[in-house]
Amino acid sequence: MTVIDANRMHEIETRYPEYFHRSFRQRFGGLMILIATLLYSLYAVWFFDLPKLFAEAHWERVGIYLSQWVSYDVQPEFRIGDDGSIDIRYPRFSPLGDNPHPDWLVNNPDGSITVSISGTSRSVTVSKNETIVTAHGVSVPVEVSSGAPEVVGPVPGWMTVYDDNVLADLGFAGNVNISVDRVKIRKRFIGWANFIFDTQSSFFDKPAGEVIGLIVSGPRIKPEQSNLSLAFDDVWNNSEWQHGDVWTKLFQTIVMAFLGTLLGSLAAFPLAFMAARNITPNRFLNQILKRFFDFLRSVDMLIWALFLTRAFGPGPLAGSGAIFLTETGTLGKLYSEGLENIDNKPREGIQSTGAQTVLVHRYGIMPQIVPVIVSQTLYQWESNVRGATIIGAVGAGGIGLKLWEAMRTNANWENVAYMVILILIVVFIFDAASNALRHRLMGTKAH
């Protein structure tokens, strides 16, 4: 066992004071950060009133909206006449077309109609005097012969009785609304209805094999147009999904992002040389340009889009201009900071040979700054693809406005899902392309 005397201890303390004489911040810094984080969290809970927010939130709507992203519903309505006849009606824009005959609706010999909501476990039988709802292993009759619908027997938990109607909730499969003279059914299906051909198409409701046969070798449906051209027109002009308009707006968004970023980088590049202190030794000019960059990027792209839509009207020009202004400020700042951080030795070496200023910049500065320019510009380009979607919602053109219109109706959530998926695919493709291009230009391997 080694014994350290007082002199040796004093020598060690003198040599390593950071271990033996730590400051208050070093001793209690971690604890202070923990306490500050806890206090801020409590303040945020109080400021945003999170308990009330979570208590009053409509969490059930999350499931409804998500289900509508991946499904559609059909809503037949059965109107019961005084003579006992049952008239079946569908909404004007039913996914089944103008003359539907679904196989899940059966006319019984006794005049009643049975609708299969989900196989045999959930069904509804509509007759003159009563409607029988079968679900969760029980069948519940609802009499409709009196002034108000009346449930026969105990009312199950999935059925709600109101003054003039009875609502049966069958979960994701749908629901049934029963009143005295009519029964309205909502039956839900997984998938996107009429995604290829809408109800007005000549190919609507035909099996895939028959459609392919007509396109390849079948007789012309319209004498003046080939079946292939007709099928393409029907898909492109699909009235329910509007593929042509969606893809056109998506292309506008991509063009807006590319054009705005390209023009912003072209404007920022020469300005950055004048803003960099080590390149342009004019402090007044440096500060003016840097404050100019700060101004352009401090005004959000969305605000620039609002200004420009007022000036030029709604459309892609306003969107491209908003991205151009924002990127001039952002890239100008990034380029100038990159120039100020270069190694001056190569530049000074070329200057000592008496080379012209252009050659000094070309061989002494550009090899060092090109990786920064390429990396930042490509990153901003892919970021602006996402940003162009947002500014489109305020009238700057592109798919953003289309997406906002679909969300505002609060009914076309499958169309919202379609456009969101397209945007995600485009963002993934641009991310991969910009990464590959960046690594190729910089001579590194992508991981």
Return all residues near 369 (Cβ < 8 A) that are at least 6 apart.
335, 338, 339, 342
* Fold of the 243-442 domain: MetI-like fold (1.10.3720)
Indicate the average pLDDT of the chain: 86
Radius of gyration, alpha carbons of the chain: 34
Hey, what are 120's tokens?
Answer: 């045999």
Binned at pLDDT 50, 70 and 90, residue 3 comes out as low
- Could you give the angle at which helices 243-275 and 413-442 cross, rounded to 10 degrees? 40
Amino acid code (one letter) for 244: G
Share of the chain above pLDDT 90, in %: 35
Integer Cα distance of 133 and 114 in angstroms: 10
Examine the pLDDT at 1 and tell me if it is beyond 60: no
Average pLDDT over every residue of 415-421: 91
- 125 neighbors 109 (Cβ within 8 angstroms): no
Q: What is the pLDDT of residues 101-141, one digit of tens each?
A: 888 999 999 889 999 998 778 999 999 888 999 998 899 99
Average pLDDT over every residue of 438-443: 71
Hey, what are 193's tokens?
Answer: 């209805």
- C-alpha atoms less than 13 angstroms from C-alpha of 173 in its C-beta half-sphere: 18
Integer Cα distance of 376 and 143 in angstroms: 70
Average pLDDT over every residue of 187-215: 90
Binned at pLDDT 50, 70 and 90, residue 401 comes out as confident
Examine the pLDDT at 22 and tell me if it is beyond 90: no
From the number of C-beta atoms within 10 Å of its C-beta (0-12, 13-18, 19+), residue 427 rates as middle
- Which sequence spans correspond to the domains of the chain? 20-57, 74-190, 243-442
Return all residues near 57 (Cβ < 8 A) that are at least 6 apart.
none
Integer Cα distance of 331 and 104 in angstroms: 60
Integer Cα distance of 244 and 251 in angstroms: 11
Hey, what are 40's tokens?
Answer: 């801020």
- 85 neighbors 155 (Cβ within 8 angstroms): no
DSSP of 104-117: TEEE-TTS-EEEEE
Integer Cα distance of 322 and 393 in angstroms: 13
From the number of C-beta atoms within 10 Å of its C-beta (0-12, 13-18, 19+), residue 78 rates as buried
Angstrom distances, CA of residue 416 to CA of 100, 174, 424: 26, 21, 12
Q: What is the pLDDT of residues 273-303, one digit of tens each?
A: 899 888 888 889 999 999 999 999 898 898 9
Q: How many helices (H) and strands (E) does the chain have?
A: 16, 13
From the number of C-beta atoms within 10 Å of its C-beta (0-12, 13-18, 19+), residue 441 rates as middle
Q: What is the pTM of this model?
A: 0.79
- C-alpha atoms less than 13 angstroms from C-alpha of 415 in its C-beta half-sphere: 24
DSSP-derived secondary structure letter, 177? E
Integer Cα distance of 309 and 396 in angstroms: 6
Angstrom distances, CA of residue 164 to CA of 144, 150, 151, 155: 10, 9, 12, 16
